[in-house]
Structure 1
């Protein structure tokens, strides 16, 4: 049962904070290790693992989500696992790429306009983002 869904602006701010808190240091580290100023496999892999693993071990939080007070949970309120996060990140990314980003725009509108605040990636993985703290 969906309770206290996290809205569009809070989720967007969490994503931006993740980009600043994790993305910028990761890009700097990647530059030091590889000398590459553009995106590379190292950066992409670490970023993917961050969004895949951290929510499974930290009760649905990423650093940015924790700062803004939202977390990812299953629709039944349960903890997300690796399989759930694979669906939410990897499969949803494929959908967004295949549709040339159109599904991503639709998903943003869904988060902003739906009562349950679920985007396409949430529907695929049977998750939602909530302001409820873990029990």
Structure 2
């Protein structure tokens, strides 16, 4: 059951914060170790992928951007996401968006903007949604 779903603008804001954070950290790391722009892009992409996969698993569905915006990723039953769920949400969805030449991403934007449950293709694949509900709001599936 989807409770208090987060819509398009708040999710976009969280994504922009996360992207800015990863860009700044990536720039600092690549500058400090003195590597080329191309190598830096590879490192940045790896950092972004690991950030999106691991942080929500260990931090109750939050990334830093989502935490600042007060939203988090949960499974449909309200429980915390696991590594397998995040693999589906990030990797498989990315693959779908690439093979559809970005059309899947455009469809997802409209789904998040206009569907009542605010779920995009990546949410459907992983059986997740983004919510304003905090981990400690009385859900029996949540850890306090």
TM-score (norm: length of structure 1): 0.94
C-alpha separation between the residues in 2 aligned to 1:27 and 1:85? 26
Task: Quote how far apart the aligned CAs of 1:42 are.
Answer: 1.7
Structure 1 residues 99-118: Cα deviation after superposition (integer angstroms, max 9, x where no partner):
11110011011000000000
Structure 1 counterpart of 2:103:
102
Q: Is the 8 A contact 1:72 1:80 kept in 2?
A: yes
**Structure 1 stretches of 5 or more lacking a match?**
none
Structure 1 counterpart of 2:44:
43
**Structure 2 stretches of 5 or more lacking a match?**
137-144
Q: Is the 8 A contact 2:96 2:104 kept in 1?
A: yes
**CA shift in 2, pair 1:34/1:93, >3 Å:** farther
Q: Kindly name which structure, 1 or 2, has the bigger radius of gyration based on alpha carbons.
A: 2
TM-score (norm: length of structure 2): 0.89
C-alpha separation between the residues in 1 aligned to 2:34 and 2:76? 41
**Which aligned runs of 4 or more in structure 1 are off by greater than 4 angstroms?**
none
Q: CA RMSD in A?
A: 1.2
Q: Is the 8 A contact 1:31 1:37 kept in 2?
A: no
Task: Quote how far apart the aligned CAs of 1:93 are.
Answer: 0.2
